[in-house]
Amino acid sequence: MTKPDVSQVIELQREVERLRRQLTDLRAEAADAAMASTRRDYRHEREMSGERAMTAAARQETDAQRDRADAEEFRHANLSAMHEALLRNAEFNRQILAYSTDCIKVLDLAGRLVFMSEGGMRVMEMDDFAPFERCPWAEFWEGDERQKAEDAVAAARAGSLARFEGSAPTAKGNLRWWEVIVSPICGPDGKPEKLLSISRDISERRAAEEHQRVLFDEMHHRMKNTLATVQVLVQQSMRHSPDDMPAAAEAIQHRLSAMGRAHELLMQHKWISTNIDDVVRDAVDAYMGPGVRMEIAGEPMTLSSRATLTFAMLLNELCTNAVKHGAWSNKSGQVRIAWRDDEGAFRFVWTERGGPPVSPPTQRSFGSRLIENVLPHSLSGKATVSFDPAGLAFQFEAPTVELRPIS
C-alpha cells in the first residue's frame, strides 16, 4: 500500500473543514429560516387571533343588537296588548254604565254632582247632564228624604257606607221610590276624595208592598166581618127556631154554604171582584141546577167583594124560600131574575110565577129581616117585598157606586 501524500492529507483536511463550515452555515441558515418561519407563524396567529376577537366582538354586538331588537319588539307587543286590554276594559265598563238600570253618580266631598252614568241619566229621565253638573245632590230630595241624603253624604265623607230609601222626582217630574247607597272613593292616602252614590228604582216593589199591605188590611177586615156575620146568623137562626133545632141547623148550613160559595168566587178573582151574573147563577144552580125553571136578564156588571157576599146571602134566602114555599116548591113554577144600572141607580128584581098562591106571613122570620133590612142596608140600599098571590116579588135598589169595586 502506497503511503498517502502529505499534501493530499492536507487537502482532504481542508475539504473536510470547508464541508464542516458549509454544514454549519447550512445549519445556521436553516435555523434562521426556521426562526423567521416561526416569527411569521406567530405574527399570522396573532393577526388571526385579533381577527377572531374582532369577529367574536362583532358577533356579540350583533347578538346584543338582535337581543335588544327582540326585547324592544316584545316590549312593543306587550304595550300593544296592554293598550288593547285597556280599550276593551274601558268599553266593557262603558257598556256596564250605559246599560245598568241603576243611577250611578260621583259626588265631590261637598256632595255636588260631578258625574252620572248614561244608564243613570236614562233612569232619571235626564236628556243632558250639563245643567245638573255641580248641583248639590241632596237638593234633589224633599222633606225628610233630603235630611236622609245629607246624612248619607256626611257619613260617606267620614269614610262610612250609608243606605236609605226615599222618594224623589225624576228630571221630568215623575215621582219614583229609590234605594240609595252612598260610599267613599278613597285616594292613595286612604282618605275619601270623592263619593259614590248608587240609586236603584224600587217604585214597582214599593207599589207591590203597598198593594200587599192593602190586601192584608182588607183580608183582615173581611175576616172580622165574616166572623161577625156568622155569629149573627147563628144567633138569629137559633133565636127564631128555639123549638126546632133541625130547622135551625139547616138554615145555618144553607147560609154558611152561601157564604162559602161566594168566597170561592172571590178566591177565583183574587178577592177583588166578581161578575154579578156569576154570583146569581152560582147561587141558583146550588138549588135547582143550571138553567132549571128560571130566566136571567141583566147586563154585565162587576161587584165588589162586599157586594158579592151580600148578594150571595140575599140569593140564598130567596132561593130557600122559593124551594120551600114559592115557585120552586112545585113542578111548574118559574123565577125571573133581572137587574140593570140606570144612570148610577142599580135595581135588582126577583119575580116568582106559577107557584102556590102567596099570602103575607103572619110572623117575620130572620130570613125576612135579612132580605128586607140587614143585607140591603150593608150596601146603602133599600128593599121591598110584595106578596102578590100570583107570586112573591122582591126588589132591591141601591147606588151603583156602592156595588162597584174601589178603583
Domain ranges of the chain: 7-44, 103-201, 207-402
- The model's pLDDT over 385-399, given as tens digits with 9 standing for 90+, comes to 999 889 999 999 999
Q: What is the pLDDT of residue 271?
A: 46
Average pLDDT over residues 229-255: 57
State the pLDDT at residue 48. Answer: 77
User: Which pLDDT band, with edges at 50, 70 and 90, does 289 fall under?
Assistant: low
C-alpha distances in Å from residue 183, one per residue of 52, 195, 239? 71, 6, 70
Global pTM value: 0.44
Residue 243 is classified by DSSP as T
Instruction: Kindly state the average pLDDT of the residues 323-332.
Output: 85
**Helix boundaries (H) for 331-374:** 366-369
Please answer whether residues 290 and 259 qualify as being in contact, where contact means their C-beta atoms are separated by less than 8 angstroms: no
pLDDT digits (tens, 9 = 90+) for 181-216: 999 999 999 999 999 999 999 998 888 888 777 666
**pLDDT for 116 beyond 80:** yes
Query: Counting Cβ atoms within 10 Å, is residue 66 exposed (0-12), middle (13-18) or buried (19+)?
Result: exposed
Band the pLDDT of 293: cuts 50, 70, 90.
confident
Query: Would the CATH topology of 103-201 be identical to that of 207-402?
Result: no
CATH number for the domain running over 103-201: 3.30.450.20
Contact partners, residue 339, CB within 8 Å, separation at least 6: 276, 297, 298, 299, 301, 346, 347, 348, 349
Higher pLDDT residue, 47 or 104?
Answer: 104
Architecture of domain 207-402: 2-Layer Sandwich (3.30)
Mean pLDDT, residues 259-268 taken together: 54
Question: Chain-wide mean pLDDT for the chain?
Answer: 80
